[in-house]
Amino acid sequence: MEKAIAILKKNNYKVTKQRTDLIEYLSKFTVQYVSINDIASYMRSLYPGMSNNTIYRNLKEFSEIGLVEYQEKDKTLVKYQCDFEHRHHHHFVCKNCGKVTELRACPIEFFTDQLPGYTVEGHAIEVYGLCADCTKKLNSK
Amino acid sequence: MEKAIAILKKNNYKVTKQRTDLIEYLSKFTVQYVSINDIASYMRSLYPGMSNNTIYRNLKEFSEIGLVEYQEKDKTLVKYQCDFEHRHHHHFVCKNCGKVTELRACPIEFFTDQLPGYTVEGHAIEVYGLCADCTKKLNSK
DNA sequence: ACCATAATTAGTAATTTTTACTAATTAGTT
DNA sequence: AACTAATTAGTAAAAATTACTAATTATGGT
């Protein structure tokens, strides 16, 4: 939490009550995505008149400074960034329970080798299916 | 084109005028994405009262049978499937000119090795940046 | 501690994107 | 040619996102 605040400051964002509470709520979701809708509901339970503007803008800004990330396949879902050090990695998302498993390392060189002269600015990788628990459960039926 | 029609039939979809014209239009976009909006405009120039229903449903069905694919990062963009044989591959998308470059092969084993017991059902990979042409152009300025 | 000010937010609305539903039409089959 | 199930048009609503302005607030300097 203090770390997140520090990141806000480092990026010249003001530390408002709204942002603090938003971060606190988001920090529960390191292993699973929340919908922007749920976020809005929760935030409006604290700040009844909170505008979409505020919610969308903050999520967007948070994602830019690495506090938050959007799910690749469904941009209405968001999760807290597991590690602020920006160690680059990707995710496996379980379609059944929604659990997120971090994947180690990243095979981007696999692709950049095929792109001579190109400027590779970024990439999106997401693997999905059933986690080990759900695989076991669903197979034993 | 005949190939696409064959795929429609194989999947028990009826071959309607609307679908034929939609496929014909989409087939221009093998190397670049079109927005669903542009598709709708074009289709409505042929069928003035064509409903969203028809457009969205057909695109969704086409993507299910592999005629079409959505852009990972922006689901309002769509392109014609380059190869119907379903040879699995991924894309590089140029942010400047929109050109799509096919990437050979796929490093999914890189990840599945890290996921023992998991059921990996699919994955999304997209690399973006500037293509060689745009890199050259923008650097020479 | 106060002030100035630039950033942030609330409040309101509009726009964009997507989905829903039903009656009418149509492609494919017998 | 008739039957039937799929498809479409037409209409509407829901969901998601963006826009704009005035009011409020956090922060840095005095």
User: Domain with B133 in it: what CATH number?
Assistant: 3.30.1490.190
pLDDT at A76: 96
Tell me if residue B72 falls in helix, strand or coil.
coil
Does A56 contact B at CB distance below 8 Å? Answer: no
pLDDT at B85: 66
Measured from the CB, is A41 under 7 Å from any atom of strand D?
A: no
Closest residue of chain B to A110, computed from CA coordinates: B107
When pLDDT is cut at 50, 70 and 90, the band that residue B115 belongs to is: very high
Measured from the CB, is A84 under 7 Å from any atom of strand C?
A: no
Burial of B120 (0-12, 13-18, 19+ CB in 10 A): middle
A104: CB partners within 8 A, 6+ apart? A89, B114
pLDDT at B19: 98
A131 belongs to an annotated ligand binding site:
yes
pLDDT at A86: 65
What is the arrangement of strands in the sheet containing A68-70, beginning at the earlier edge strand?
A: A34-35, A77-80, A68-70
**Quick check: B106 pLDDT over 90?**
no
Does B118 contact A at CB distance below 8 Å? Answer: yes
Look up the domain containing A134 and give its range: 90-139
Residue B28 belongs to a domain: yes
pLDDT at A141: 74
pLDDT at A73: 85
Mark whether B57 and B94 lie in a shared domain. no
- What is the average pLDDT across B105-111? 87
Exposure b/e, B17-46, CB count within 10 A at least 16 = b: eebeebbebbeebeeebbebeebbebbeee
Measured from the CB, is B10 under 7 Å from any atom of strand C?
A: no
Mark whether A43 and A74 lie in a shared domain. yes
State the greatest distance between any 2 C-alpha atoms of chain A, in Å, as a whole number.
53
Residues A41-72 pLDDT 10s: 999 999 999 999 999 999 999 999 999 999 98
Domain boundary residue, one of B80, B107, B124: B80
**Quick check: B2 pLDDT over 70?**
yes
**Span CA (B49) to C1' (C24), Å:** 14
Give the CA count within 13 Å in the CB-facing half-sphere of B10.
12
- What is the average pLDDT across B75-100? 86
Mark whether A41 and A100 lie in a shared domain. no
pLDDT at A140: 85
Mark whether B56 and B76 lie in a shared domain. yes
Query: Among positive and negative, which fits the CA dihedral A56, A62, A65, A70?
Result: negative
Does residue B34 contact residue B88 with C-beta atoms inside 8 Å?
no
Percent of chain B with pLDDT over 90: 75
Domain boundary residue, one of A80, A101, A127: A80
pLDDT at B86: 65
Q: Length of chain A in residues, anyone?
A: 141
Mark whether B75 and B125 lie in a shared domain. no
Residue A13 belongs to a domain: yes
Mark whether B17 and B70 lie in a shared domain. yes
Q: Which residues of chain A have pLDDT under 70?
A: 85-86
Please state the domain count of chain A: 2
When pLDDT is cut at 50, 70 and 90, the band that residue B80 belongs to is: very high
Does residue B95 contact residue A121 with C-beta atoms inside 8 Å?
yes
d(CA B138, nearest CA chain A) in Å = 11
Mark whether B102 and B48 lie in a shared domain. no
**Span CA (B16) to C1' (D5), Å:** 14
When pLDDT is cut at 50, 70 and 90, the band that residue B56 belongs to is: very high
